[in-house]
Structure 1
Amino acid sequence: MLLNPLEKIVANLPYGDGFKFVDQLLELDEDSVIGIYRFRESEYFYKHHFKDQPVTPGVILIECMAQIGLACLGSYLMRENDSKPQFVFTENHINFLNTVLPKTTVIVSAKKEYFRFGKLKVVVRMMDENENKIAEGWMSGIILKD
């Protein structure tokens, strides 16, 4: 089965199924990315995080934003490189405005602020499927080369 370029980027992310928070990329170019992820009721963390009223942990929301906004966009920017680049998340400033419950689909958009000397910084936003803003801010990471 041949994958389109966006599917290939998602398939090549260095995360296992239990920790990959990208279902699909909707848009991707040199300056921005938009991707989605549906938080399933079966996610491992819901059993333990507010077990009677599960809520998605903020650190997982940040990870979802980093996987779409940094890892996917960074992979695209490094596509001419023969190796599979690895990304290290270095810093962020995220404001949370709403919670994410099980069965919520989130839409993450990230716009490149800069990419130089192996460091990528993006302005990122997370919305739910009803266009409610969940979180916004910025994050950055560096690319480790083989």
Structure 2
Amino acid sequence: MMYINEILEYLPHRYPFLLVDRVTDIESGKSIKGYKNVSFNEPFFEGHFPDNPIMPGVLIIEAMAQLSGILGFVTVGRKPVDGLVQYLAGARKVRFKRPVRPGDQLCMESEVVSTKRGIWKFECRALVNNEVACVAEILTAEREV
């Protein structure tokens, strides 16, 4: 299990763009599980949409990419303070199955599919109440800064 203070060591993101609240399970080089508690206080709900608040799909993808990035960092045994970052490089096979609303807990899972020359491919999915909200193949690019 990884709580917020440790997550902050692995992700350079901060409020309002940190989209992982907890890591519940991690197996280096293989898979990771975690979640984001979706609150009505999120700044994006003000405009998306005022009378029908729904978490933007691109932020669901970003949340899965952030979780995947943690797995990449843990796998190579480094952190952003070591001069390494993981950028979102692509998303393929994205499908949205249900909306994510205030009060939901967005449970995410990511598995390493492959890694080659600093390019990582992950198979990801996000669930709410055990219902699939989104699936995607996420690519990240590892770079020295």
Superposition TM-score, scaled by structure 1 size = 0.89
Q: Deviations over 1:49-96 (max 9, x none)?
A: 111111111111111111112x11111112157814211111112111
C-alpha root-mean-square deviation of aligned residues, in Å?
Answer: 1.7
Paired residue for 1:79? 77
Q: Is 1:144 the counterpart of 2:117 in the alignment?
A: no
Give the Cα–Cα distance (whole angstroms) in 1 for the partners of residues 127 and 14 of structure 2. 24
Q: Which amino acid in 1 is paired with 2:75? A: L
Q: Which amino acid in 2 is paired with 1:11? A: L
Segments of structure 2 that go 5 or more residues without pairing to the other structure are none
Paired residue for 2:87? 88
Q: Which secondary structure does the structure 2 equivalent of 1:112 belong to? A: strand
Show the 5 A alignment for 1:1-146: 6-7=2-3, 9-12=6-9, 13-29=11-27, 30-69=29-68, 71-80=69-78, 83-93=82-92, 94-128=94-128, 130-146=129-145
Q: Describe the shift of the 1:101–1:80 C-alpha distance in structure 2 as closer, same or farther (beyond 3 A).
A: closer
Give the Cα–Cα distance (whole angstroms) in 2 for the partners of residues 84 and 72 of structure 1. 15
Q: Which amino acid in 2 is paired with 1:25? A: V
Q: Which amino acid in 1 is paired with 2:100? A: V
Counting aligned pairs with the same residue, the percent is 21
Q: Which secondary structure does the structure 1 equivalent of 2:60 belong to? A: helix
Q: Describe the shift of the 1:137–1:80 C-alpha distance in structure 2 as closer, same or farther (beyond 3 A).
A: closer
CA contact (8 A) 1:34 1:110 kept: yes
Superposition TM-score, scaled by structure 2 size = 0.90
The alignment covers a number of residue pairs equal to 140
CA contact (8 A) 2:61 2:136 kept: no
CA contact (8 A) 1:9 1:76 kept: no
Q: Which secondary structure does the structure 1 equivalent of 2:114 belong to? A: strand
